[in-house]
Amino acid sequence: MDKIKIKHLPKGVLITIIIVSIMAYGASLTLKTESHPERSDLIYGLILTVLLFALLIFAGLAKTTVRFGKGGIIKCQWLFLFWKIDLDKYNAVTYKLVSNRTRGGGTHYSLHMMFYDDAEHFKCLKESLEQHSAEACIRRNFDWTELIKLYRYIEQNYPDKAKGYE
């Protein structure tokens, strides 16, 4: 069984981080509005703030582990979240290079692998790319990326589903 690690953040995680951030901001706001907060309230607020920053850093550094090689089931894990992609349920698998402008004026590249069950519905795995990998991908040399290892496995074992670069 092969294993790759990619920089992929599952869908609901970003929403969860935003909700926890709003809750932490609300807790700190209630401490600021009190005229004489208790010492225990200040300690709780400080602990909550430190935990929030630790959660944000840990979530930003964690990578998704993708296991494949035993049949058509691809197992994905990000921290404590697990999900499976069953290739038998999908009709086509494609990949594409996506560029996004950043606020500072730079460009962020990511490789998207889409698993289509019909023309409108698909599941996507995304890999954020480093600058040297992105430059190679622009030249159509995708061998620098981890996600292409998964695509090569699909291409080899399920050639009717592997549709190539989109």
Reference 95, options 48, 162, 8, 28; nearest CA is: 162
Binned at pLDDT 50, 70 and 90, residue 93 comes out as: very high
Instruction: Compare 45 and 81 and report the one with higher pLDDT.
Output: 81
Cα(97)–Cα(166) distance, integer angstroms: 8
28-37, 61-70, 151-160, range with the lowest pLDDT: 28-37
Side chain identity, residue 64: T
Question: What mean pLDDT, rounded, does the chain reach?
Answer: 84
pLDDT of residue 18: 81
Residue 67 has pLDDT above 90, yes or no: yes
Q: What is the mean pLDDT of residues 91-104?
A: 87
Binned at pLDDT 50, 70 and 90, residue 34 comes out as: low
Q: What is the mean pLDDT of residues 48-52?
A: 80
Cα(16)–Cα(33) distance, integer angstroms: 26
Residue 160 has pLDDT above 80, yes or no: yes
pLDDT of residue 131: 82
Side chain identity, residue 82: F
Instruction: Compare 142 and 27 and report the one with higher pLDDT.
Output: 142
Q: Mind listing the pLDDT tens digit for each residue in 121-150?
A: 888 999 888 888 888 888 888 887 889 999
| SS3 sequence of the chain | CEEEEECCCCHHHHHHHHHHHHHHHHHHHHHHHCCCCCHHHHHHHHHHHHHHHHHHHHHHHCCEEEEECCCCEEEEEECCEEEEEEHHHCCEEEEEEEEEECCCCCEEEEEEEEEECCCCCEEEEEEECCHHHHHHHHCCCHHHCCHHHHHHHHHHHCCCCEEEEC
